[in-house]
Amino acid sequence: MQTLPLVGMALLMSGCSPSIDQTPTEVFMAMNNALCRTRDATVMLEYVTAASKPIVVHLILPVQQIAKTLPVDVIFEQSCVGEKANLQVLREITDKQVAAITYLEGKDIKSMRLLKENGTWKLNLTPPAGSFPGVHGAIPIPSLTSYHTSVQI
């Protein structure tokens, strides 16, 4: 099956990749808009740090395979309006190579960390150092709630 090379080629040709001149907010919104437009989690691979790619491959993509049995609108109804992300960035904090975005998704206030990788902002899905005592670096996590915070309003 030649799905992966075609997906990769489509991503390259579509200009989806984050660029050096984009702010953390622009990268975050570009990835979410790409997810809404394509309804395909593989686009995340272009927007996440190298250390985060295994999380996308081992946790998010298998969930997407299971979710294919659900109507697409059910999966994306809270996060997307048509082909655009239904998110509102409330705050961006940047400190040289690290950034944090606080955003509103539906009634939930969430946050996302970004790191500068080769001069480009990338979303960091790995847990911060010290999140799990005695463990350093990226580790497989059972739920994606470990990489962001969520507060119901």
Q: What is the CATH number of the domain that holds 77?
A: 3.10.450.50
pLDDT value at 145 more than 60: no
Q: What is the mean pLDDT of residues 70-80?
A: 65
Answer yes or no: is 43 within a domain: yes
pLDDT in tens, 83-135: 888 899 999 999 999 999 999 988 889 999 999 999 999 999 887 765 544 44
Residue of 39, 33, 19 lying closest to 116 (CA atoms): 19
Answer yes or no: is 14 within a domain: no
Answer yes or no: is 86 within a domain: yes
Answer yes or no: is 12 within a domain: no
Range of 41's domain? 19-128+142-152
Answer yes or no: is 98 within a domain: yes
Answer yes or no: is 100 within a domain: yes
pTM above 0.75, yes or no: no
Answer yes or no: is 5 within a domain: no
Q: How many domains does the chain have?
A: 1
Q: Residues 110, 124: contact at Cβ < 8 Å?
A: no
Answer yes or no: is 2 within a domain: no
Residue of 127, 143, 138, 142 lying closest to 54 (CA atoms): 138
